[in-house]
Amino acid sequence: MEAIMIVSRRLSLRLFVVLALLLCLFSIPALAQTVTGTMQGTVTDRSGGALPGVTVTVRNVETGLERVLVTDKQGFFNAAFLSVGRYNVQAELAGFGAMRHQNVRVDLNQTVVQDFILDPAVTETVTVNAEAPHIDVTDGEIKQTMRSEEIMNIPQSTQTSFLGLASIMGGYQEQPPAFGSGISADNPALSTGSSVVFNGTGTRGTTFQINGVNNDDSSENQHRQGVALATIQSFQILSNNYSAEFGRGSGAVVLVQTKSGTNDVSGELYGYDQDNRYNARSKLDVLKPPHYRRDYGLTSGFPIMRDKLFAFVNADIVQDNGSSIVTRALWLPSDLALPRLTRGNDTPENRAWQDSILARYPNFAPNAAAITGNPRAYQYPQALNRPARDYSSRLDFNTQSNSVIARYQKSKQQLLPNGELIIGEQGVQDLHQSNFGLTWTGILSSNTVQEGRYGLGLRATKWDIYAGNNTPIVRFGTSIANGTILGNASAFPIDRFQRDQQFVYNISTTRWASHTFKLGTDIRRSSLNDHAEDRNRGFWAFGTPNLTCQGVTYPNGYAMFMDGCISSFQKSFGPAYLQNQLKEYNGYGQDDWRIRDNLTLNLGARYEWVGVPREKDHLIDYGFKNSDYIDPRLGFAYTPDWNGNRFWRALTGESGKFSIRGGYGTFHGRVFQSVFSQVGASIRYNPPNAASYNVVALNLADPLAANGIVFVPGKPPTGRVSLTTADPNLKMPETRQWNLTFERQVFSQSRLRLSYIGTLGKNLLQYRFDNLPVKPGPPGSNSTWVVAHDWLCAGTGQAGLNLPTNATCPNAVPIAANEVSIRVPRTNERRPDARYLTNLIVSNLADSSYHAGELEWESGVIRGFQGRVTYTYSKALDVGSEATSSGTGDVNFFPPNAGSYSRGLSRFDTRHRFTMTGTYLLPFFRDRKDLLEAVLGGWQIATVIRLSSGTPFTVSDSAALDVDFDGASNLRPVCIDPKGCGGIHVDSPVDSQNKLQRKSFRHPVYGDTLSDLVGRNTYYTDGFESVDLGLYKSFRVPVRSDSIMLRLDVFNVTNHVTYGFPTTDFNSANFGRITSTAYTPRTLQLGLRYIY
C-alpha cells in the first residue's frame, strides 16, 4: 500500500506540473523559435527619448506576410514567430518622418535588433539597407548558422544529408578513423551514435529537429531522417548554453528549417555525377574499383493564392552503384594442412561443420600481401548498389492573424550487394523514414503571439544477411589480420519500426515593460518495436579472448579452428521481438529581462519528466524508475557604450558593434534505447524466459549439448549465464555548460566571435561489472581464496585437472583447494552468485570535461566574397567515451575502482581544428548583360577547408592475463621504455613501427597494478586534412531571371592521405603497422543546376 501511495504521489506531481504549465499558458505567455526568429527594437527621437505608440510594420519581402505592432511606453516592440527570411520594417508616428529598414534578415532561432530614430524635422521616409551580419546582443547562446545561398555555393559531396554541414562549424570534434571497428558513425542499427559531436558531449548528446519537429532516433540517439540540401532555408547548430526552450539533449541542438513557396515561382533542377574512373586510387589499395554516384533532383516553390497560400515541393533520386575495396584473410595451403580434430572430436558432424565453413571461402591466392604486410590478404571489389529516394512537400497559409505550415517528407535507402567473396559476410539494408509536421501561429494582440505544433516521425529499419538469416557467425580473433566477418553483425537480423509523436504549445508576450516572458510545453510519445538478436544464430570464436583453449595454446585462430577447439561459443535464446513504449513531458519558462537598453538577462528553467520504457506485452521489466528534474538556464548579453574612450572605441567599435555575452545551464540527455539491447548486454535475454550462454567446447556442431545445456523457456537455465540489468537508480545523463563570449562587428559586413566554452558531463552511461569473483589474498595469507606461490603454473600436471605441461609451464606444480593461478583461476567458484557469470549493469558511472577557446569569423557579401573561418583549441577528458561501441583504439569497460586507469583523453579529443568556407564571384565582366559576360563572366570559385589534429588511441594487449584475479581482464600492457609510453603521433606507415615498438612494452604479471599499465588514449593517430575546391560558371537565360550553373567540385584536391589506426594490439605480429586509411581520395564531381 505504501508503494502504491508513493507512485500515486509521483503521478500526481507530474500531472500537477503539466496542468499548471498548460493553465499558465494563458496568463504568462512565452516565446519559442525552433522554426522561426524574432525581430525587436526600440524607437526613439533624436534626443534618445522613447517614443510610445509608434506603429511598426514588418512585411516579408517574399511572401507578403505582414505584422503590425505598436511600441510600448519604453518605445520597445517585439515581433515573435517570424518566418525565416528577409523583411522590410517601417516605423511611423504622426508628426515624425517615417523610417524604413529594407532587407532585414531574420534567421532561425535568432533575435535581430532593429532600432529606429524618428526625426520630426524630416518629412520624407528614410530608407536604410540592412545587409551586414548582426552580432548577437540578446542572449548568451553559442549558435552558428548557414543559410541556403551559402549551403548551395560550397562543395558538398552528397546532396541528401546535412551532416557534412556540421563539420564546418566551430567546436565540432572529429570521429576517430575506423570508428566502431570499421563501422561508421550514424549507423542506423549497430549503435555507433551520431557523427555530430560538439564540445565534449559525445555521440549520444546531440538532438535534431526539422521545422521544429523532433528528428531524433530514440533507439540510437542519432538523427532519424536526412534532408535534401536544396530544400534547406537555414541550418543552425546550438552548441552551448541554449535557452530553456530546447531540451532532451545534453549536447548540441541541430535545427533545420526548410524552404517555403513565395509569391514568385522559383526553384531549381539539378544533377551531380561522380565517376571513379576520374578519381584517385586510395593509397593502400591494389586496384581502383568501378563506381559511380549520380544524384538528380528538383525543387519548386510557387504561389497558389498570392500573399496567402504557397507550396514548395522537391524530389531527389540517387543512383549509387559500383564497388568498394575490401581486404580479407584467405586460407593458405599451410593452414589447411594443420592438424585436424586431434582432441577426440574427429566426428562426421564436426568435419561436416568445418567443411561448410571452408566452402564459403574462394580458392584464390592472396594478392595484397605486399601492401598490407599480411601474407593471407586478398583485396577485391565488393559490388554494392545503394539507391536512395527522397520526396517532400510543404504548404504555407497566411492570414492577417494566423498562419499554418504543413510539411511531409518520405525517404528510402537500400544496400543491395551483388555477390560476395566469402559467402555470408554481406548484409542487405532496406531503410524507410517519413515525417509530418504541422505548425500554427496565432496573433492574440500586438504584443502576444501563440504557436502550436504537431509532429509525426516514422522510421523502419530492416537489415538481413545476404546469404540468409541462418548464417553462422564465425571469427578468428586478432591473430588473423583482416579476418572474416562471416555472419556479419551478431545483432542481425534487425527489423525495427519507430513511431514518434510530438505536441508543442508556446506563447509569447511583451505585455510587461522590460520583460519578454516565455512559456511552453513539449509532450512526446514514442513506440519502438524491434526484432534484435544477440548471437541467436550461434557465435563461434577461435582465438578470442586468447589463443589458449582447454589447456592448449595455438599459434593462431586458424590452427584452433582446424583442431576443433572453440575458445568461446555464445548463443542466446528468448524474445527477440519487443514493443517498447516511451513517454516524455516537458515544460519551460523564461524571462528575457532588459535591465537596461544595453543589458539583457535570460532567466529560464526547464522541467522534464521521462517515463521508464514499458514493453507492451510485459515481456521484460527494465527495472528502473521514471526521471524528472528541473534544469536552470542563465544567460546575459551586454552591449557596452565605450564611445567616450578612444582606446576602447578603437578596440570594440562604435556603440552597438560589440557585445559581451555568456551564461550557464544544466542539460539532460536521453538513455538511448539500444543501450539495453547490445550484443552481450541485452536485457531481453535474461532468464527465466531467455538465456545467453558462453561456453568453451570441442564439439563444433553442437557446442551447447557438449556442455549439457538445453534451453527451456520459463525454466532456470542449465549452466551459468550472464545477466544485463539496469541500475534501479538509473538517471538521464547530464551536462553543465557555460561560456563567456566577446563578439564584434568588424568593418561593415562581417563579425568576429571569441568564446571560452566549458562542459562538464555527469552521470554519463556506462556498463558496470557485477558478480565478479572474490579477489584472492596474496600467497600465504589467511584469506578464503589465495594466490598460489607459483601464480602462473600452479595446477599443471595435477590429477583430475587435465592440464598437461607445456612450453610456458614445463613442470608439474601442485595447487591447494583454496588456491588460484592463471592455469587454475577458479573464477566461477569464487563468484558470489553461483547461478551467473559476470553480469553487466547499465549505470551512470562515467563523467567528462571539456574546455575550449573558439574563434569564429563570418562575413556578408563583400565585393563578391562571402565566407567563414573557425578555429578551436580544446581538450576533452572522460571516463569512457561511448557506452556501447567503443571502436578501434579505445576501451570502455573498466574494473571496479579503476581510478586513473579509466580516465584519459576522450577518443574525440581534437586539440586543434581549423575550418574555412568561402565563395568568390570573380569581378571580370560582371553585371554587363552582354555577350562578353555570357562568355567570360559569371565565374565563381568556392572552397571548404578542414584541418585537425589526430585523435588519441590506446595500446592494448589481447593476451594480457587476469593477473589480479578479479575476473575483469585488463587488456593493456606495461610500458617499460619511457620514450614509448605516450604522447607519440603514429601517423605514417613509413615509421609507425619504429614509433610503436614491441620492446617498449611487456605483458602484465602478478603484482602489477592498474597504475602500472599503459594509460588510456595516450597515443595519437594521423590528423585530418582536406581541401575541397569548386569552380562554377553561370549563364543567364533570356527567360525571366533564370540561370544555368555548371559546377566542377574537387574533394580533397591535394589528395592528402590520412592514415587510420595502426595495429594497436601489443600481442599482434603486426603491432604498430598501419594497414588502413581514413580518408576519401581526390574525387571529382560534375554538376549542373538550372535555377529559376
Q: Which residues contact 1 (CB under 8 A, 6 or more apart)?
A: none
Which element (helix H / strand E) includes 770? strand 750-770
- Band of the pLDDT at 841, cuts 50, 70, 90? very high
Q: How far apart are CA 303 and CA 261, in angstroms?
A: 6
Q: How far apart are CA 701 and CA 348, in angstroms?
A: 9
Q: How far apart are CA 731 and CA 878, in angstroms?
A: 18
Q: Are 637 and 617 in contact (CB under 8 A)?
A: no
The CA-based dihedral angle spanning residues 360, 362, 367, 373, taken in that order and rounded to the nearest 10 degrees: 30
Beta strands in 466-514 (DSSP E): 473-475, 494-509
Q: How far apart are CA 181 and CA 196, in angstroms?
A: 19
Q: Which residues contact 991 (CB under 8 A, 6 or more apart)?
A: none
Closest alpha carbon to 908 in 940, 929, 886, 884: 886
**How many other C-beta atoms are found inside a 10 Å radius of the C-beta of residue 336?**
11
What percent of the chain stands above pLDDT 90? 69
pLDDT in tens, 671-681: 989 899 888 88
Of 352-356, 853-857, 889-893, 938-942, the least confident: 889-893
CA dihedral over 1037, 1038, 1041, 1042, signed as positive or negative:
negative
Q: How many angstroms separate the most distant Cα atoms in the chain?
A: 112
Alpha helices in 881-982 (DSSP H): 931-936
DSSP class of residue 353?
A: H
Mean predicted confidence (pLDDT) in 107-114: 87
Q: How far apart are CA 937 and CA 141, in angstroms?
A: 41
Q: How far apart are CA 734 and CA 205, in angstroms?
A: 9
Q: Are 301 and 262 in contact (CB under 8 A)?
A: yes
What percent of the chain stands above pLDDT 70? 95
pLDDT at 326 over 70: yes
Q: Which residues contact 596 (CB under 8 A, 6 or more apart)?
A: none
Q: Which residues contact 174 (CB under 8 A, 6 or more apart)?
A: 908, 910, 913, 948, 951, 1024
Q: Count Cα neighbours of 827 within 13 Å in the Cβ-side half-sphere.
A: 17
Task: Quickly list DSSP for 696-752.
Answer: EES-SS-HHHHTT----TTS--SS-B--EEE-TT----EEEEEEEEEEEEETTTEEE
Closest alpha carbon to 264 in 877, 1056, 1040, 875: 1040
Q: How far apart are CA 144 and CA 769, in angstroms?
A: 41
**How many other C-beta atoms are found inside a 10 Å radius of the C-beta of residue 705?**
11
All structural domains of the chain, each given as residue ranges with its CATH number in brackets, are: 31-131 (2.60.40.1120), 144-330+365-536+574-686+723-770+841-952+1022-1091 (2.40.170.20)
Q: Are 907 and 883 in contact (CB under 8 A)?
A: no
Which element (helix H / strand E) includes 451? strand 448-465
pLDDT in tens, 858-874: 998 888 899 999 999 99
Q: Which pLDDT score is estimated for 21?
A: 42
pLDDT at 397 over 70: yes
Backbone angles phi, psi at 649, to 5 degrees: -65, -40
Relative to beta strand 37-45, strand 116-118 is: parallel
Which element (helix H / strand E) includes 201? none
Backbone angles phi, psi at 345, to 5 degrees: -120, 20
Mean predicted confidence (pLDDT) in 218-237: 92
pLDDT at 6 over 60: no
- Band of the pLDDT at 130, cuts 50, 70, 90? low
Q: Are 965 and 775 in contact (CB under 8 A)?
A: yes
pLDDT in tens, 1015-1058: 999 999 999 999 999 999 999 888 778 999 999 999 999 999 99
- Band of the pLDDT at 132, cuts 50, 70, 90? low
Q: How far apart are CA 449 and CA 513, in angstroms?
A: 16
Integer angstrom CA distances of residue 735 from 220, 369, 668, 705, 760: 19, 48, 6, 49, 5
Residue that has been written with the C-alpha cell 516511451 in this structure: 582
* Cis previous bond, 545, omega within 30: yes
**Bridge-partner residues for 873, per DSSP?**
853, 912
Q: Are 987 and 1077 in contact (CB under 8 A)?
A: no
Relative to beta strand 865-879, strand 839-859 is: antiparallel
Please, is 945 exposed, middle or buried when counting C-beta atoms within 10 Å of its C-beta (0-12, 13-18, 19+)? middle
pLDDT at 5 over 70: no
Residue that has been written with the C-alpha cell 600481401 in this structure: 369
3-class DSSP assignment, residue 954 = coil
Q: Which pLDDT score is estimated for 771?
A: 96
Residue that has been written with the C-alpha cell 513511431 in this structure: 499
CA dihedral over 188, 191, 192, 197, signed as positive or negative:
positive
- Band of the pLDDT at 219, cuts 50, 70, 90? confident
Which element (helix H / strand E) includes 647? helix 646-652
**How many other C-beta atoms are found inside a 10 Å radius of the C-beta of residue 698?**
18
Q: Which pLDDT score is estimated for 145?
A: 93
pLDDT at 887 over 80: no
3-class DSSP assignment, residue 229 = helix
pLDDT at 192 over 80: no
pTM, 2 dp: 0.89
More confident residue, 879 or 895: 879
Number of helical H runs and strand E runs in the chain = 11, 54
Mean predicted confidence (pLDDT) in 688-692: 93
Q: How far apart are CA 361 and CA 904, in angstroms?
A: 41
pLDDT at 286 over 80: yes
Integer angstrom CA distances of residue 393 from 235, 406, 637, 851, 900: 18, 8, 39, 42, 53
pLDDT at 126 over 70: yes
The mean of the pLDDT values for the chain is: 90
Integer angstrom CA distances of residue 798 from 477, 794, 994: 30, 9, 44
Q: Which pLDDT score is estimated for 31?
A: 41
pLDDT in tens, 656-673: 899 999 999 999 999 989
Q: How far apart are CA 799 and CA 511, in angstroms?
A: 90
pLDDT at 128 over 90: no
Q: Are 953 and 932 in contact (CB under 8 A)?
A: no
Mean predicted confidence (pLDDT) in 1061-1082: 89
Mean predicted confidence (pLDDT) in 719-724: 91
pLDDT in tens, 24-75: 433 333 344 567 888 999 999 988 899 999 999 999 999 988 899 999 988 9
Backbone torsion region of residue 344, taken as left when φ is above 0, otherwise alpha when ψ lies between -120 and 50, otherwise beta: left
Q: Are 738 and 766 in contact (CB under 8 A)?
A: no
Q: Which pLDDT score is estimated for 134?
A: 77
Backbone angles phi, psi at 336, to 5 degrees: -70, -20
Residue at 996: amino acid letter: L
Q: Give the Cα-Cα-Cα angle 273, 274, 280 (nearest 5 degrees).
A: 160
Mean predicted confidence (pLDDT) in 600-612: 96
Integer angstrom CA distances of residue 484 from 235, 357, 561, 936: 41, 11, 13, 56
Residue at 314: amino acid letter: N
Q: Which pLDDT score is estimated for 647?
A: 87
Q: Give the Cα-Cα-Cα angle 600, 605, 606 (nearest 5 degrees).
A: 135
3-class DSSP assignment, residue 1032 = strand
pLDDT in tens, 135-188: 888 899 999 999 999 999 999 999 999 999 999 999 999 887 544 344 567 877
Written as nine digits, the cell of 86 is 528577409
Mean predicted confidence (pLDDT) in 83-100: 90
Closest alpha carbon to 385 in 418, 350, 338: 418
Q: How far apart are CA 302 and CA 975, in angstroms?
A: 68
Please, is 551 exposed, middle or buried when counting C-beta atoms within 10 Å of its C-beta (0-12, 13-18, 19+)? middle
Q: Which residues contact 184 (CB under 8 A, 6 or more apart)?
A: 175, 192, 195
